[in-house]
Structure 1
Amino acid sequence: METALLLIDIQRGFDAPVWGERNNLDAEDNAGALLAHWRHNRAPVVHIRHVSIEPGSPLGADTGGTTFKAQVSPIEGEAVFDKSVNSAFIGTGLEAHLRGHGIDALVICGLTTPHCVSTTTRMAANLGFSVQLAHDACATFTSNANTDWDSALSPMTAQQIHTTAVSHLHGEFAQAVTVADLLRSQP
């Protein structure tokens, strides 16, 4: 099995305070450790960047929010795909790229766990890829807690949102694993 590392939306735009409190402040460093390992082993790496089409978005091209964070900046030869929706497979050449390079397994990490990471993970599994989710190289924010649909609900913490999202993916769409386990198991 050829396994690619898929880094999703690890961008400066997620440093904006509008997102609220965040869990896992080590996510970028953990993703950087995975990236260094993949590069050292000359394994395939794919970077995904969210380019928002919403005016004023922190992830807009005009705000600098599309710049990759230093820990995971692409280097020459690494694939980069831009998207404007949650799934990295919609409106991009990602699936064709992966299949064209004989990739049938993915290690996924990035921002944010319940949105672009979850949607891409679900779709990858539905497309037949074997997926491992590096859950400690992912993070989310309290702004992802949309509980206003039920006034009896209390807002969730970023950690609760993250844990719930990972729990929904694990076992059906992916195997949730730690970065340390991946570094030990990946050649």
Structure 2
Amino acid sequence: MDNMEKQNTVLIIIDMQRGMADPKSGRRNNLSAEENIRQLLAAWRVADRSIVHVRHMSRSPLSVFWPGQPGNEFQDSFTPLASEHVVEKNVTDAFVNTGLERWLHVRGIKDLVIVGVSTNMSVEATARSAGNLGFATTVVADACFSFDRLDLQGKPQTAEEVHLHALSNLQSEYATVLDTASLLG
């Protein structure tokens, strides 16, 4: 896979915080996402490639992602190493008011691999911005997940449907959508 072959490809892991496992989040799809993210993280670490961990810092004291709450902490498997960059965001898009774009440009990084949660929120928003900013962007479908949602008409949408719609929105227009095996292949 071209992105895995490029030494200067960064892995961006979005919002893999303890709060994502909170039952309040609801039913989700892709129960193997964490294992796939761990495989990608391990591959990037072994290859000594750049890794960016994105953490959502909610502006609402009622949120599990409010700073200082246990839900705001990274899941143990995704705790950044001292050498890995951490971006803190307050909105879904990891590029908004975080300095991420500048950090990437300063290092000459043009290729991004995006994983994390949730597919239809922070992953999609970040991938859209990345594509619009000219980065060659890959989203790893089986290293992301979504939650059940109601559509605008109040009709239930399964997490699988939400996930698939978000990835379909990204494919070809903003990003290339692959699975973990294809990327690491």
User: Which TM-score tier does this pair reach, normalised by the shorter chain?
Assistant: over 0.9
Kindly indicate whether residue 144 of structure 2 is the aligned counterpart of residue 138 of structure 1: yes
Match of 2:182 in 1: 181
SS in 2 for 1:47: strand
SS in 1 for 2:13: strand
Alpha-carbon distance, 1:29 to partner: 1.3
Alpha-carbon distance, 1:174 to partner: 0.6
Alpha-carbon distance, 1:133 to partner: 0.5
Match of 2:64 in 1: 58
**Paired amino acid for 1:104:** K
- Counterpart CA distance in 2 for 1:23 and 1:63 is 25
- Counterpart CA distance in 1 for 2:137 and 2:71 is 28
Match of 1:6 in 2: 12
Kindly indicate whether residue 98 of structure 2 is the aligned counterpart of residue 95 of structure 1: no
Deviations 1:84-143 (A, max 9, x none): 10100001010111011110010000000000000000000000000010110000111x
Match of 2:3 in 1: none
Match of 1:44 in 2: 50
Kindly indicate whether residue 84 of structure 2 is the aligned counterpart of residue 83 of structure 1: no
**Paired amino acid for 1:76:** A
Match of 2:169 in 1: 168
Contact map agreement 1:28 1:72 (CA 8 A) in 2: no
Kindly indicate whether residue 107 of structure 2 is the aligned counterpart of residue 106 of structure 1: no
Kindly indicate whether residue 33 of structure 2 is the aligned counterpart of residue 33 of structure 1: no
Question: Could you tell me the percent identity over the aligned residues?
Answer: 41
Match of 1:67 in 2: 73
Contact map agreement 1:114 1:162 (CA 8 A) in 2: yes
- Counterpart CA distance in 2 for 1:67 and 1:31 is 17
Q: When the two structures are superposed, what TM-score results if normalisation uses the length of structure 1?
A: 0.92
**Paired amino acid for 1:156:** Q
Kindly indicate whether residue 156 of structure 2 is the aligned counterpart of residue 150 of structure 1: no
- Counterpart CA distance in 2 for 1:139 and 1:73 is 19
- Counterpart CA distance in 2 for 1:70 and 1:176 is 27
How many residue pairs get aligned? The number is 179
Alpha-carbon distance, 1:164 to partner: 0.8
- Counterpart CA distance in 1 for 2:40 and 2:33 is 11
Alpha-carbon distance, 1:60 to partner: 1.3
Where in structure 2 are there 5+ consecutive unaligned residues?
Answer: 1-5
Contact map agreement 1:29 1:71 (CA 8 A) in 2: no
Instruction: Provide runs of 4+ in structure 1 moved above 6 Å.
Output: none
Alpha-carbon distance, 1:59 to partner: 1.2
Deviations 1:37-80 (A, max 9, x none): 00100111111000101121011123211211122210011000
Contact map agreement 1:31 1:71 (CA 8 A) in 2: no
**Paired amino acid for 2:150:** N
Where in structure 1 are there 5+ consecutive unaligned residues?
Answer: none
